[in-house]
Amino acid sequence: MVLNSPYADLPAAAFWRSAMVEQQAEALEALYKPKFEMSQETAFMTAGSCFAQHLHRNLASNGWNVIQSESLADVVSPQVAEKFGYGVFSARYGNIYTARQLRELLCEAISVSPSAAIVWEKAGRYYDALRPGVEPEGLATQADVIRSREHHLAKVRETLQKTDVLIFTLGLTEAWIDVETGRTLPTAPGTIAGSFDPARFRFVNFTYSEVLDDLIETQKMLHQNGWEIKFLLTVSPVPLVATASGSHVGSASTYSKSVLRAVCGVLHQGNPDFDYFPSYEIITTAAVGGPYFGANMRDPSPMGVETVLTVFAHTHGIEDRDVPDVKPVQSRYAQAEDVQCEEMMLEAFARK
């Protein structure tokens, strides 16, 4: 009796040579098979790290139904609005780098009695420590910060009430914790505002089990409040700017992305409400002609972002986007788009 190999009848996408070496433009669509139906009418909430800004901007500009609960579009120019955190994500929460940040933000937005705001000071101006980048010049008083945060949380709650699918880009496992409140910060104190006190702030590098638990608990929390929101997870392809782990930044970045990608894989396989979109693979590997990084070998190039959005559109039946050349050369190192990224400010602390 002749036994066929279990690999004998697998599609071309399962083999390196046919999927990666001899690929055609149609190979783009083989990268991603959606678990649940989405269309341009689906109400999307966007959140995550710096790379998620590319997704929000491009989806919104290409006619997808991206929720925008906090906006100044009719008041100031897009450039000014973006500087103050408007139009960057579905609400004005700034970059959410970790799954723990997302869990804590949504819990606070849902709570009938949110925790007190954490206020930082710099040169007589005051900042919301949980989103310091949205007010680059700070506010005049602590009371202004508190009022601004209360308004923001109401808008986050309003966003959740409208959302069908939450697109969340996981960026980091490293973070700083405010010991007094237990809250996870988007950036280390002293980077934008505030000052670092080792007795007040604790470094954490979240493990696989912690990231997985945070996402599952976030899903449960939303369901308990009657919101059957589905999750489309992505992993930011952007390496760490700096690490406080004690490891080389290259090794630390590999650890962080590996943990995040593994969590996405498990949720994608075992939870019907979680899907994974391979933007990480599109930007960082040879899957469709990459890697697609800027000259600094860190920021995604415009060609890479365009390829990511093309894969997303084509797999959801939107055929009016031209498929990029899957073998670009010069464009691979083109100038990246500007995004608001607090993490980049850590470069200022590098020894010359």
Question: What does the pLDDT look like over 314-323, one tens digit per residue?
Answer: 888 776 655 4
In the prediction, which pLDDT does 236 show? 94
Q: Is the pLDDT of residue 256 over 90?
A: yes
Inter-CA distances, 204 with 119, 240, 247, 285, Å? 21, 15, 14, 29
Sequence-ordered list of residues with C-beta below 8 angstroms from that of 307, at least 6 positions apart, any chain: 28, 282, 288, 289, 290, 292, 324
Count the alpha carbons within 13 Å of 22 in the hemisphere toward its beta carbon. 7
Q: Specify if 335 maps to a domain.
A: no
Q: In this structure, is residue 4 part of a structural domain? A: no
Ramachandran assignment for 62, one of left (phi > 0), alpha (psi -120 to 50 degrees), beta (any other): alpha
pLDDT in tens, 93-109: 999 999 999 999 999 99
- Domains contained in the chain, number: 1
Average pLDDT, the chain: 87
Q: Decide if 45 is inside a domain.
A: yes
From start to end of the chain, where are the E strands? 44-48, 119-122, 125-128, 165-170, 174-178, 184-185, 201-205, 230-235, 274-276
| Position 29 in a domain | no
* 137 domain-assigned: yes
Decide if pLDDT at 89 tops 90.
yes
> What are 21-29's contacts with CB under 8 Å, separation 24+?
23/288, 23/326, 24/326, 25/323, 25/326, 27/288, 27/326, 28/288, 28/307, 28/310, 28/311, 28/314, 28/323, 28/326, 29/311, 29/314, 29/315
Judge whether residue 312 has pLDDT over 90.
no
Confidence category of residue 121, pLDDT binned at 50, 70, 90: very high
The answer to the question of residue 336 being in a domain is no
User: How far, in Å, CA of 309 to CA of 185, rounded?
Assistant: 30
Helix (H, G, I), strand (E, B) or coil at 252: helix
What's the rounded mean pLDDT across residues 81-88? 85
Q: How many angstroms from the chain centroid is the CA of residue 287?
A: 21
Give phi and psi for 70, each to the nearest 5: -120, 115
For residue 330, pLDDT over 70 is answered with no
User: For position 338, what pLDDT does the model report?
Assistant: 57
Whether residue 319 lies inside any domain: the answer is: no
The rounded distance, in Å, linking the Cα atoms of 256 and 282 is 18
pLDDT score of 300 = 86
Which amino acid, residue 38? M
- The Cα–Cα gap between 142 and 144 comes to 5
| Residues 184/119, Cβ–Cβ less than 8 Å | no
Do the domain assignments include residue 227? Answer: yes
- Structure confidence by residue, pLDDT tens digits, 35-63: 999 999 999 999 999 888 888 988 888 88
Q: What is the pLDDT of residue 347?
A: 52
* Lookup: tokens for 43: 């109400």
Q: pLDDT tier at 328 (50, 70, 90 boundaries)?
A: very low
| Structural domain of 238 | 38-278
